[in-house]
Structure 1
Amino acid sequence: MRKTREQAAESKEKIIETAARLLRERGVAGASIADVMAAAGMTQGGFYRHFASKNDMLTAASRHAFATMASGIDRDIDAAGADAALSAYVARYLSREHVANPGMGCPAAGFGTDAGRMPEVLGAEFADGAEHLIARVTAGLVARGVATEAARADAIRTLTMLVGTVVMARALGPSPLQDEIIAAAQDRLAAP
């Protein structure tokens, strides 16, 4: 039975969502075509109806992961304003839930090192995604009264502190040092 265009689009979206989760959880090596298709509940043979290559899938997954994170911040901005959205973003980012669940978390903390090793595949999407996050953090800082000229640099520092904290916390696993690292970042990034 042939799939309709709508069914094919739904299948492709499911593959992208699954690949984005596995990419954040396991990195590039753990997001093989076979792994992604099995996790999506599909056969490996159908992969090439949707993507030209694994790299094509990884690019789409990276774009999706960053867009998902940015849209969550956008919903918070619409609901409560940029300042409150920034506070909520930092709180979610530094939460135990985010540390323990990389598959649903930030792509920068999930596969940033892989993007650095594969700039020809992930570099452009990663840079674009990082710019979108920086823009949202910048808006939150401006809403807090940070001068516009200084806000972008502060946003970059904020984002890199968030990412570095989560990467370190995940590497350490549950421990007193993990708690200490998270607490230090929370203290540093607390709203004025």
Structure 2
Amino acid sequence: MPRVSRKQAELNREIIVEAATRLFRERGLHGISVVDVMGAAGLTHGGFYGHFDSKEALAKEACTRAFTQSMERWKQKIDANDNRVSARTSIIAPYLSAANRDNPGESCPVTAFAGDMCHETAESGLHQTYTQGLEALLQMLTPLMGSDQPQANRQQALVDYSLMVGALTLARATRGNELSDEILDAARHFLTSQGESV
């Protein structure tokens, strides 16, 4: 069999990471196998170890990619608005939407990976990647709060994001029941109406 060129190898690696990023968000970091990832990438599973030392190494890179994608989306939303209230709403409203609930493969890694992180040690590279990603998103959300006190803004961002993640998690867990929509609607209404006075 002919040897794959460096360019093709780089492309294959990119395809694998993209496939893993989507699958891990959809089914959790421990809910898929190397065979699943390579199948989604359209490649044979035998080639996996030519790109990654382990599934954990791929999971860490996919986790980093998912957070980078979320940060880029948030930055675009913030940059497209001319005040903090509309910028904050532009993040919250789509986050707490039925479309976001129903498409976890393109959604927030904080929600997608939270359950898995509960079983990781604090020292694991994956846990550290997750924590750093969460902190980066919080740092983007914090300036959108309304106080002139940085610590008060930090506290409000922690509360808001915790509510967003919790509501999205519960909405996914109850998908197919009217309760799911109720949870999303209640959290979205609370946060967006609160934002006008924060």
What's the TM-score once normalised by structure 1's chain length?
0.92
Partner of 2:143: 139
1:14 CA displacement: 1.3
Identity %: 36
For the residue of structure 2 that corresponds to 1:3, the secondary structure is coil
Q: Distance in 2 between matches of 1:60 and 1:8?
A: 17
Partner of 2:75: 74
Partner of 2:108: 106
Report whether the alignment pairs 1:42 with 2:43. yes
For the residue of structure 1 that corresponds to 2:90, the secondary structure is helix
CA deviation digits over 1:20-39, x for unaligned, max 9? 11111111232210000000
Partner of 1:85: 87
Alignment of 1:153-192 (within 5 A): 153-190=155-192, 191-192=195-196
The code of the aligned residue for 1:167 comes to T
Partner of 1:15: 16
Q: Distance in 2 between matches of 1:173 and 1:110?
A: 15
Partner of 1:25: 26
CA deviation digits over 1:54-85, x for unaligned, max 9? 00000001111111001111122223246233
What's the TM-score once normalised by structure 2's chain length?
0.90
Partner of 1:5: 6
Partner of 2:117: 115
Q: Distance in 2 between matches of 1:146 and 1:160?
A: 22
Label 1:116 to 1:82 Cα distance change in 2 as closer, same or farther (>3 A): farther
Q: Distance in 2 between matches of 1:147 and 1:61?
A: 35
The code of the aligned residue for 2:88 comes to L
Label 1:32 to 1:81 Cα distance change in 2 as closer, same or farther (>3 A): farther
Gaps of 5+ in 2: none
1:49 CA displacement: 1.2
1:136 CA displacement: 0.9
Label 1:79 to 1:53 Cα distance change in 2 as closer, same or farther (>3 A): same
1:4 CA displacement: 2.8
For the residue of structure 2 that corresponds to 1:80, the secondary structure is coil
1:176 CA displacement: 2.3
Query: Which structure's residues are more often helix, by fraction?
Result: 1
**TM superposition outliers: structure 1 runs of 4+ over 6 Å:** none
Label 1:35 to 1:82 Cα distance change in 2 as closer, same or farther (>3 A): farther
Q: Is the 8 A contact 2:147 2:153 kept in 1?
A: no
Q: Distance in 2 between matches of 1:32 and 1:184?
A: 36
